[in-house]
Chain A
């Protein structure tokens, strides 16, 4: 090969270096934590995700409200009530804010199955609130199974005609399925937005940071599965595949992150995974516990 002509590979290498350098320069500037407004909407659900958020540690709720965000609205925690509370919610529209939303959106009877407030004499349905707040937010993070895909609120026969947050919004929604959403998943996603912008998402809008690997592929009991050693009842230390474990179809990091200051998680508690962080929970993950699944198949 002649060395007189310019090797395209060599020139590309030079380009890449300068590209990388500018990127790093920018990222260093980006890595400073600048507080943003945070609105937390509780919609048609159990409000368990705000409770889960309070269970967070490093960062915890205090760090969230003092260092990460100006937390302006949440039904469970704010001091203002009635019209005064609704004023705060309505006045944030037009400003820059991140919207966190838990709970599905009840749509039956134009949304009157879930009224989150009353403003200027009119009831404000969950449906109306999410449309008003959702379209104008800089980022929308739907957390919990109900917000991401309907979850338990939309379980058959779905009496309130609940739907996911995405299905009523015409914009990208970052999805954090889980029942509830682990505080780390939300706070980590929020931190990424604040520090570096929107995190890398998979084809279903879940941050790869948390939702990249199946529970099955990082399960401490995988060697039992591979050898075909299956538990017959709860409380045993072997693989719970035959009891109905949904670890093989659930993409989330519970097996390594664990829960509540990382002390435990369902499988280590000798119960199978019920697939709460996978789309399809709960209807498509049931039955959760089965005792009569066939074990060995005689050839």
Chain B
């Protein structure tokens, strides 16, 4: 009987709560509410719902500045720095991925010094490599009216909500490492979003080419972790593997990002052992997958491969010995010219304290930052008092108009949906540092990702 009472009490409380919610359209006389408006639709005296709740992205301190674009302008006073936000993954097991990009952007600011006579200041946010993290980071940045542009996010799943939030506020966001195709697909592209990382339609195709031409794989299985990045990349790979190589996909499986037990998935895959197992997931899951795949009977002859999300020292640490021989696709870091090795890397090392890069997108972040500087220079108005007026829409248009920009990662040209990269994909294999020598990418003391394809 007690539970019935409790139930009816809860119900009554719920009813009252619904009735009291401002704006809820309760039919008149539904519940005896106290203090609520019986008609439900109360236009009078609700200050927080006033019609002019325009987002405060309009100039922070410009009394007479008439907003020329629909999203207003940013006013940078004389002697004040230009503020850029970052939303990169700087905690969790995937922190290498984001800190690497963050150092890349910082190096760009250091080398550039000043933009139109103003210093550059970063506001660092954490995208946590998740939808929630991306949302929180973007909202924090959008709430600061002085943020001119955002470099981020690291992970595509964070990028999807973040791109929407920044675009709604009219803030240019450039990602150094989002690779999911949907972010720049015409149907789903957000107006103010661009990226300097490759689109995974390129990476998936390159991995498929490598699989059949170099490894001679005829069958392949894929695993993703439900993230936008992994799910889309493995699908591109699977389609290309069938199309290019006439290969057969034995199974496409999925795990959850927090899973520790991959054996059930691996046992299912081992029922029809593939020549190649492609799991473009993140650090922690990738390491577990690697270790457990090595112990699964039936997968002894299967080659293992991941992608750029796994190319970090943390992955090598977490996977231990099992990592040796794992392939990973990712952006090609064999850049033309001396600037990368002679100027960029020493500055990067000074910031990070690590002789080898932490991950693979630092150069993309460097290019992203520099392209933002260029777009500011192209679009901002220098006022007589030394202040700077940056129109948000003009800045976005200037960025999207960049063509043939010579960056570290190649010659970058933006298309109308924000793909600016000059995509070059390479494949690395985990090998002992002693053998790999100069071809080492992300590295621990003993092992590193050694670039092996395409051959020079």
Say whether A associates with B.
no
